[in-house]
Amino acid sequence: MNRRRVAVITGGAKGLGKRIALSLAEAGHNIVVSYLRSESEALELVLQVEKLGVEAIAIQVDITDSDALQRLILNAVDLFGSVDILVNNAGPFFRERRKFAEYTMKDIQYLIHSNFTAVMELDHLVLPYMRQHHWGRIIHFGFAHAGESRAWPHRAVYAAAKVGLVSFTKTLAVEEAENGITVNMLCPGDIRGDNKEKKIIEVEHLIDLESPRGRPGTGEDVARVASFLCSPESDFITGSMINVAGGMDPIRTWPLS
């Protein structure tokens, strides 16, 4: 293969997406990142990626807009020739705890669309290009222990979207295995704030009492696994839910009142 492989990372301007974009750039891939409001961060990331010797572009995208998703993929193909890797990183989460009855219908539709439907749409858009080259890597995002489909009080909508994505991940992995395409889900723990962009060395001296590992998780923890899954030698790993949570279980028995 003479051309560089091309990675599209949604919500890649900052947080976990940024760290994954830098990791894939270090592996020699051209990078396409989507962003919604973080234009300055996205443009800064493009400069960082280009310093690593590969090409990059940032595209503003509302992932709940089907036409915008099509433009994202078409722009990536027009510029770089194909899409080989898709990292579905974007997916909003409401940290405020709410019972299902307290959600508005607008909130329900937004969470389901952005965390589930948009992922399916993007996968559908990139499959023809991956099939053409008989090679592809698709990564979905869930939460630690998503594959167990347990109750998560006060997170009903988000949990439903991600658990639905678990089944879709397994199904698509089986259907596309013959085409050289792997589909896996990364399931991070509760990685918060600036830690999403940090390296392990920056937090290894810190204490996190909620983590069995004892330290906070970082973006590098997740990015290392993402890069591993995207390597050519990882073709035998597909349909997997991979917890990157330091042993933490984010689903607790919350009081219902």
Residue 246 has pLDDT above 90, yes or no: no
> What confidence score (pLDDT) does residue 95 get?
84
> What confidence score (pLDDT) does residue 256 get?
40
Q: Residue 213: left (phi > 0), alpha (psi -120 to 50), or beta?
A: alpha
> What confidence score (pLDDT) does residue 100 get?
95
Q: Largest Cα–Cα distance of the chain, in whole Å?
A: 60
Indicate the helix (H) or strand (E) that contains 56.
Answer: strand 56-60
CA-to-CA distance for 101 and 240, rounded, in angstroms? 33
Mean pLDDT score, 72-91: 97
CA-to-CA distance for 49 and 216, rounded, in angstroms? 26
CA-to-CA distance for 25 and 85, rounded, in angstroms? 12
Q: pLDDT digit string (tens) for 192-213?
A: 899 999 999 999 888 887 888 8
Residue 1 has pLDDT above 70, yes or no: no
Tokens found for residue 24:
């894939």
pLDDT band at 252 (very low <50, low <70, confident <90, very high): low
Show the beta-strand stretches assigned E in 116-213. 136-141, 181-188
Q: pLDDT digit string (tens) for 4-49?
A: 999 999 999 999 999 999 999 999 999 999 999 999 999 999 999 9
CA-to-CA distance for 106 and 129, rounded, in angstroms? 34
> What confidence score (pLDDT) does residue 139 get?
98
Q: pLDDT digit string (tens) for 135-193?
A: 999 999 999 988 888 888 899 999 999 999 999 999 999 999 999 999 999 999 888 89
Relative orientation angle of helices 39-50 and 15-26, to the nearest 10 degrees: 20
Q: What is the pTM of this model?
A: 0.94
Q: Which residue is it, tokens 């051309």?
A: 3
Share of the chain above pLDDT 70, in %: 97
* Residues present in the chain in total: 257
